[in-house]
C-alpha cells in the first residue's frame, strides 16, 4: 500500500518539479510492505458497565498497519481505556488507502448504520500524499460528519500527525509536511463549523517521531507499537469525555 501511496504522490506533484517526483518514485521502491494484524472489532469492560458503541473510521492506521498485534493498535487501546468505565463495543470501519472522499461516500454511512454513540474520524494522510484540493477535502469531511451526527453520534476528528517519516527523503518531506499542515487547518475550520471536537495529535506529539525513529514500524512510514500507543494516549481523554457526555444525555 505504501508503495502505491508514494508512487501516487510522485505522479501528483509532477508540476512541483522533477526532483520531488523522482524522490517520490524512489521512496516508493525502497519501502517494505507491512501487513496489519487481524482481529478487530472487540469488546471491553465489565458486563455491568453502561454500554457504549465506539466506531473508528480511518485509513491504514485504523486497521493497524505497522502494529505487531491488534492489542497494539490505537482503536484497541482506546477501547481498553473506555472499558474502565463502559461496556464497549468497538467497530473499526477502515480501509488502507482511504481518503476523505471514501469517508463521505462509504465509510461514514457504514459507520452510521452501526448506531455509534461515539465516532472517531482519523483520515487525511492519503489526502496529503495525493494532494487533494482543500475545498474538496473540506466538503467531504463536512459530509462525513453530518452523516455521523444524523445517527446521533458524538463525533471527534483527529488531526494528522507531522510527516517526519524517514521513508520520505528531503526535500519531498518538507513539501508533504506543509501540505499536512494545510489539511489540518482545513480540519480545524470544518470541525469548528460543524461543532465537533478535534484530537490534536501534532500539538501533543511535537517532534517525537522526528527524534525517535523507533516509533515507526519497519516500513518507516506507519507507526509501530510504541507510536500507536502515543497516538492513543493523546486521544483517550477527549474520547472518554465524549463518551461520558453522551452517557449523561441518555
- Sorted by where each begins, the domain ranges of the chain are 37-249
Per residue in 71-129, pLDDT tens? 999 999 999 999 999 999 999 999 999 999 999 999 999 999 999 999 999 999 999 99
Query: Averaged over 20-38, what is the pLDDT?
Result: 42
Cβ-count burial of 207 within 10 angstroms (0-12 exposed, 13-18 middle, 19+ buried)? Answer: exposed
Question: What CATH number is given for 37-249 in this structure?
Answer: 3.40.50.1110
**What pLDDT score was predicted for residue 40?**
64
User: Average model confidence (pLDDT) for the chain?
Assistant: 88
**What pLDDT score was predicted for residue 8?**
52
Cβ-count burial of 66 within 10 angstroms (0-12 exposed, 13-18 middle, 19+ buried)? Answer: buried
The residue among 21 and 15 whose pLDDT is bigger is 15
Q: Which three cell numbers stand for residue 98?
A: 482511504
Per residue in 156-183, pLDDT tens? 999 998 899 888 888 899 999 999 999 9
Distance of CA 157 to the CA centre of its chain: 9
Output the CA torsion 40→43→44→46 (10° steps). Answer: -170
User: How far is CA 177 from each of CA 52, 172, 214, rounded to the nearest angstrom?
Assistant: 36, 9, 20
Task: Round to whole Å and give the CA distance between 154 and 91.
Answer: 15
Query: Averaged over 142-155, what is the pLDDT?
Result: 97
Do 203 and 161 touch, CB atoms closer than 8 A?
no
Least confident segment among 19-28, 38-47, 180-189: 19-28
**What pLDDT score was predicted for residue 54?**
97
Nearest to 165 by CA among 111, 241, 105, 227: 227
Q: 136-152: b or e for each residue (b if 16 or more CB lie within 10 Å)?
A: ebbebbbbbbebbbebe
Per residue in 228-246, pLDDT tens? 999 999 999 999 999 999 9
Amino acid at each position: 500500500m505504501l508503495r502505491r501511496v508514494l508512487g501516487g504522490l510522485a505522479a501528483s506533484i509532477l508540476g512541483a518539479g522533477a526532483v520531488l517526483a523522482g524522490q517520490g518514485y524512489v521512496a516508493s521502491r525502497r519501502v517494505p510492505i507491512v501487513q496489519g494484524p487481524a482481529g478487530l472489532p472487540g469488546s471491553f469492560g465489565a458486563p455491568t458497565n453502561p454500554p457504549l458503541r465506539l466506531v473508528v473510521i480511518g485509513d491504514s492506521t485504523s486497521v493497524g498497519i505497522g502494529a505487531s498485534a491488534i492489542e497494539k493498535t490505537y482503536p484497541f487501546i482506546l477501547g481498553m481505556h473506555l472499558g474502565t468505565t463502559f461496556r464497549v463495543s468497538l467497530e473499526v470501519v477502515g480501509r488502507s488507502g482511504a481518503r476523505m472522499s471514501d469517508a463521505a461516500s462509504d465509510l461514514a454511512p457504514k459507520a452510521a448504520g452501526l448506531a455509534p454513540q461515539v465516532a472517531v474520524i482519523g483520515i487525511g494522510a492519503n489526502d496529503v500524499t495525493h494532494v487533494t484540493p482543500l475545498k474538496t477535502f473540506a466538503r467531504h469531511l463536512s459530509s462525513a460528519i453530518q452523516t455521523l451526527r444524523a445517527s446521533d453520534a458524538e463525533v471527534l476528528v483527529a488531526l494528522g500527525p507531522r510527516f517526519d517519516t524517514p521513508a520520505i527523503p528531503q526535500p519531498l518531506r518538507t513539501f508533504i509536511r506543509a501540505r499536512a499542515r494545510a489539511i489540518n487547518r482545513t480540519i480545524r475550520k470544518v470541525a469548528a463549523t460543524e461543532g465537533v471536537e478535534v484530537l490534536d495529535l501534532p500539538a501533543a506529539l511535537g517532534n517525537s517521531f522526528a527524534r525517535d525513529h523507533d516509533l515507526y514500524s519497519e516500513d518507516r512510514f506507519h507507526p509501530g507499537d510504541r507510536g500507536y500507543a502515543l497516538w492513543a494516549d493523546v486521544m483517550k481523554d477527549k474520547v472518554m469525555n465524549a463518551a461520558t457526555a453522551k452517557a449523561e444525555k441518555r
